[in-house]
Chain A
């Protein structure tokens, strides 16, 4: 633990406003950067396009889970009431599917909600309690009123000099190198 070898994790640049951040994102995208992110206290509409990001696949994931949950729940009730332990209740058919709608619906909704929440967390790599950016003092304001562009060192276009120059030329008020242990 005492040997702390630091490596460069990336670069962080502060911007003044949502509009400035959006223009910066467009410039970064056009300059060919792919492993960068724009941090803001609230979601900014149009940022996905400005950064050149694709649509989140979450809707597809939830759709598949919802379909499986609906068929699974129906199949479960069918098996329980007609195969495993058939019971005649108020003279209705064993598989009285109309009466199974509320339970099938509730199970579908529950599974979809779980898929939406946990799918979102997995896609976002959360929980991840440590992130190199948290080493930066100024980055704490990202959840208050700060707007930042971060460029990861893994980005093929990342370079200490040119990246810094680019960030400053597109209007960053303050840039810093982020180091991780």
Chain B
């Protein structure tokens, strides 16, 4: 049997549903009445969002002195959170673009969900550098816009690269997501019973009619977007890592940073997708669409990226010793045994030790285990950025050593950013199809136009039985 036939043979959606069953199951979530659980969660998320708005408002009024940032730690929670949120986004693009290019058809069950997560995570990420600049109302100066001083931004600065990379990443993710949504918005338009829904979904569906003359351009546009998002996603976190790597500080000035950051980003992003999808799967009864097979593959991804991250931690230590540079070795000893030792060991435990459970199929296919592990990984990855940024409070001269501790405003903005993320996410779940209906239908066996052509049919019949 050819590889292609094998790929088509795999049954990805349980229960052998009809096309209309898929439409009904996924559209109904959007069309049915708002549930109490959703309202409760939305209320909680909006409360956290209000904390964010309040603390950012106070920050703009008073200045970044309200945070714990100081000298030597000019970067604190803000940059920790920025790197954390950008990283979360990466799994979404990996699932939607890279797995698409590799023809991993199982991705169809989770890609819409993961792409939405990417967009909301990048919004949270963009917030932090924007408010950390201090005078956020002059943010346009990072872009090469003519101004009264006649000066241009410094294109050699990694902080400027960040603005371009993350901005582009946001725009591309949004476009990729929207293009994927168009056929599904048309489905909701055609099912809409009341006028407001008809107008709103109809407008955003742009008049899609599913003709092959449309699909032809659509599919190529999707392929191109996947193709250009792939180098983009690898570059974004690499560029974020150059914020650190282009400096000449011990512990930061290393060439391992770009691949190490990208692996960590994918690792944390998969964990976040897992946390969210386990809840949505349970609440909206999507067990047949997001099967154990999907979850298990995501767990394997986490195991692999966990090993990559662990390997990077090891390499960093090795190079710190092997380089013979006393400042470099001290920086790493200080990470593991200095005043922030607890952050370091939380990171090691959550990112390297705990995911080893996924070597065993028993744990890999256990919902409770994967839920807890996914949350621990998110905690661990947040601490990874904390460790990288804040163990630098002890650099070259002991006389200039300092200490960083966040203030209540730091915590308020961190908690608030989760409010922003979950508010957007809950709105998405409520008003847009969280699973791509058109793509799911495409991976059903009956979508194959050669279904009745001899051997293929035997293969599918055997698989479905």
List A residues at the B interface (Cβ < 8 Å).
Answer: 17-19, 21-22, 25, 37-48, 51, 53, 56, 58-59, 62, 76-77, 80-81, 84-85, 87, 89-90, 92, 96, 99-100, 102-103, 105-107, 109-110, 112-114, 116-117, 119-121, 123-124, 126-131, 133-134, 139-145, 150
Contact = CB atoms under 8 A, between A and B. Distances in A.
A104 to B, nearest CB: 9
Most chain B C-beta atoms within 10 Å of own C-beta, residue among A22, A96, A145:
A145
Given A19-B452, A43-B442, A103-B161, A133 B221 contact: no
A129 B220 contact: no
Given A48-B216, A76-B144, A117-B221, A142 B210 contact: yes
B23 interface: yes
A142 B441 CA distance: 12
Interface in B163-217: 164-165, 167-168, 171-172, 175-176, 178-179, 183, 186-187, 189-191, 202-203, 206-217
Nearest to A124: B214
A62 B229 CA distance: 14
B235 interface: yes
Contact of B231 (A53, A100, A109): A109
A143 B437 CA distance: 9
22 contacts: A18-B446, A19-B449, A39-B209, A40-B210, A41-B23, A41-B441, A42-B438, A42-B441, A42-B447, A45-B449, A76-B144, A109-B168, A114-B175, A117-B178, A120-B220, A120-B221, A127-B207, A128-B207, A130-B207, A133-B209, A145-B20, A150-B211
Most chain B C-beta atoms within 10 Å of own C-beta, residue among A37, A46, A76:
A37
Most chain A C-beta atoms within 10 Å of own C-beta, residue among B178, B212, B446:
B212
Interface residues of B, number: 69
B12 to A, nearest CB: 14
Contacts of A37: 211-213
A19 B450 contact: yes
B345 to A, nearest CB: 34
Contacts of A41: 19, 23, 183, 187, 210, 437-438, 441
Interface string B3-21: 0000000000000001110
B439 interface: yes
B161 to A, nearest CB: 4
A120 B214 CA distance: 8
Contacts of B161: 102-103, 106
Contacts of B206: 121, 126-129
Interface stretch (B148-156, B275-283, B369-377, B378-386): B148-156
A100 B213 contact: no
B415 interface: no
A110 B164 CA distance: 9
Contacts of B101: none
A89 B154 contact: yes
Given A41-B23, A47-B215, A51-B212, 12 more contacts: A44-B447, A59-B224, A81-B152, A81-B155, A102-B158, A109-B232, A120-B179, A120-B218, A124-B217, A141-B190, A143-B208, A145-B19
Given A92-B156, A109-B168, A145-B18, A129 B207 contact: yes
Nearest to B211: A37
B286 interface: no
A5 B343 CA distance: 75
Contact of B451 (A17, A51, A133): A17
A142 B225 contact: no
A14 B29 CA distance: 28
A48 B231 CA distance: 29
Interface of B: 18-20, 23, 144, 150-152, 154-156, 158, 160-161, 164-165, 167-168, 171-172, 175-176, 178-179, 183, 186-187, 189-191, 202-203, 206-221, 224-225, 228-229, 231-232, 235, 239, 242, 437-439, 441-442, 446-452
B168 A106 contact: yes
A141 B24 CA distance: 12
A124 B231 CA distance: 27
Nearest to A54: B216
Chief secondary structure at chain A's binding surface: helix
A120 B216 CA distance: 9
B190 A106 contact: no
Contacts of A107: 164, 168
B224 A58 contact: yes
A18 B447 contact: yes
A134 to B, nearest CB: 7
A48 B179 contact: no
Given A46-B449, A126-B208, A129-B202, A59 B220 contact: yes
Contact of B190 (A40, A110, A142): A142
A18 B178 CA distance: 26
Nearest to A129: B207
Contacts of B189: 143
A121 B204 CA distance: 12
B190 A56 contact: no
Given A47-B215, A109-B232, A124-B214, A145 B23 contact: yes
Nearest to B27: A144
Contacts of A142: 190, 209-210
A143 B190 contact: yes
Nearest to B446: A17
Nearest to A128: B207
Nearest to B232: A109
A37 B167 CA distance: 38
Contacts of B20: 144-145
B309 to A, nearest CB: 24
Contacts of A117: 175, 178-179, 221, 225
Most chain A C-beta atoms within 10 Å of own C-beta, residue among B150, B206, B211:
B211
Contacts of B190: 140-144
Contact of B171 (A85, A110, A116, A140): A110
